[in-house]
Amino acid sequence: MKYHFSGFSYDTEQKTLKLGSQSKELTREYHSLLSYLLSRPQQLISLKEMKDQVWPNQAVTHYTIEQSILKFSQTLNKYHQDHYIETVSEQGIRFIPKVSSLDLNTNHHKFKLEWLILILTVGFLLLYLLFKTKTTESNVLSNSEAVNFETNKQTELTNATSQKSVLKHQMQTKIATAKELYQKNEFTKAEQLIKESLIYNEQQNNQQGIIDNRTKLAKIYQQTGRFSLAEQNWRMILAMHSEQKNATNSAEAILWLLQLHLIKNNTTQAKNNLKSLAQLFKKHPTQAITSLFYEGQLMIALYQQDLSNSQQHLTSLINSDHQLIKMYRGDVARLEAKHTAAEMYYLEALLHANTNGDFNQITLILNRLNALYININSKKLTENLRRTSKLKPFIYPLQKYQAQAAKLSGNNNKALSLMEDLKLKAGDYWQNTDQLLLESLQN
């Protein structure tokens, strides 16, 4: 059997994996794992099933299986970056890519049959042409035939136009669905639809459609801990915005990059991003770019815990009427150690986000409340964690807060289990502080 997925082809008989025409090496264990995953694409597979099918008669733990799956996914990403495996908490895994298969033996017989049909068809055509040559004195179409020919041609053109219109409508529907899924934190489903739309727009050479879809993908990659893919897409987006001379969208992309570099603790690159924002602000001091520039300044000041600059930049942002201003006021109040004020601002921001129905904003604010309650109120922390979980956000940082809550309640075993699981699934979000927390629970 031969399978195709995410640019790869895999032959189960020859045990060969290729990316394009290049062969890629896999261990014997990874060959078994890949063969089984390809036989069950986009299906939820429990770890017990994985053990029975890939590691039969072997004494392996669920932790060992999870580690093998993680390393296998990293190996595929080393060859070609994509999202291959989705982990469903406490249930199992799912092989994400679309998979097409071809039975080589069946195809061989099919190939013979197709040749036989082709030979018979050619024979009939030759007989038909011979008959026509003998029964007609001219190859000129009669008026009636000419009319039929033009009518058929026009019908074909109409059908082709109709098919394009239907396909365009389908893509518009998929993008609208993807937007709803993204706003509900259903990133995996949204990502698949956006990739389909991106391929369509690339085929149509629709530059704006390409930019819109790459922007959506970059945001999903960043929010799900795939920072290399996110940064790669943001830089492509910036290049396209530069060609179109779209300063506002360029500023928005730069701000996302700035945020990404702060998460990665790369303050040098974040400050370079801020310089780029400052240049755009100087050339195009519109309200939108002004607000993005002030937000970038405040982000860096908060990251550096610079209270004076945080207060100054917050004042600038308040004057620009930013939609998340209540959340940022909570951030500054928290830096000032004014916990009651911080909570009040976060709750006001949450009320506004709930009105909009944007799960991403709601999750962002709820996680800030989780970080605040860890230090001041364990009862409110428990309730807020429950509320955050209902939104089904990306695993980080929610599960870290759950582990910290378990540790505070004296349940170190649960905390350890949560952190070990988080390390497997957090992607690039996993940081030194997380590793230190894990090690403290292991000792």
Count Cβ atoms within 10 A of the Cβ of residue 344 and give its class: 0-12 exposed, 13-18 middle, 19 or more buried: middle
Least confident window among 13-27, 247-261, 393-407: 13-27
| DSSP letter (8 states) at residue 55 | S
218-230 pLDDT per residue, tens: 999 999 999 999 9
Instruction: Report, in angstroms and rounded to the nearest whole number, the Rg of the chain calculated over CA atoms.
Output: 29
Per the DSSP assignment, residues forming a β-bridge with 101 are 3
Peptide bond into 41 cis (omega under 30): no
| DSSP letter (8 states) at residue 399 | H
Indicate whether 292 pLDDT > 50.
Answer: yes
Q: Where are the domains of the chain?
A: 2-101
Per the DSSP assignment, residues forming a β-bridge with 24 are 17
d(CA 300, CA 303): 5
24-51 pLDDT per residue, tens: 999 988 999 999 999 999 999 988 888 8
Predicted confidence band of residue 141 (pLDDT cuts 50, 70, 90): very low
Find tokens 């600059």 and name the residue.
309
Contact 278, 248 (CB under 8 A): no
pLDDT of residue 78: 84
Backbone angles phi, psi at 426, to 5 degrees: -75, -15
What mean pLDDT is predicted for residues 312-340?
92
d(CA 316, CA 294): 6
Indicate whether 137 pLDDT > 70.
Answer: no
Backbone angles phi, psi at 45, to 5 degrees: -120, 125
Report H helices in 264-324. Answer: 267-283, 287-303, 307-319
pLDDT of residue 396: 96
Indicate whether 321 pLDDT > 50.
Answer: yes
Q: Residues 309-325, buried b or exposed e (16+ Cβ, 10 A)?
A: ebeebbebbeeeebebb
Identify the sign of the CA torsion 337, 341, 345, 351: positive
Predicted confidence band of residue 320 (pLDDT cuts 50, 70, 90): confident
What mean pLDDT is predicted for residues 284-298?
94
Count Cβ atoms within 10 A of the Cβ of residue 92 and give its class: 0-12 exposed, 13-18 middle, 19 or more buried: middle
Backbone angles phi, psi at 97, to 5 degrees: -60, 155
Helix, strand or coil, per DSSP, at residue 116: helix
Per the DSSP assignment, residues forming a β-bridge with 4 are 9, 100
d(CA 222, CA 225): 6
Higher pLDDT, 240 or 158: 240
Closest alpha carbon to 267 in 219, 275, 226, 220? 275
Indicate whether 159 pLDDT > 80.
Answer: no
CATH number of 2-101: 1.10.10.10
Contact 34, 8 (CB under 8 A): no
Of 133-137, 209-213, 321-325, which one has max mean pLDDT? 209-213
Contact 213, 198 (CB under 8 A): yes
d(CA 427, CA 395): 10
Identify the sign of the CA torsion 312, 313, 317, 319: positive
Structure tokens at 119: 């030979």
Predicted confidence band of residue 140 (pLDDT cuts 50, 70, 90): very low
Contact 203, 237 (CB under 8 A): no
The total of other beta-carbon atoms located within 10 Å of residue 400's CB is 26
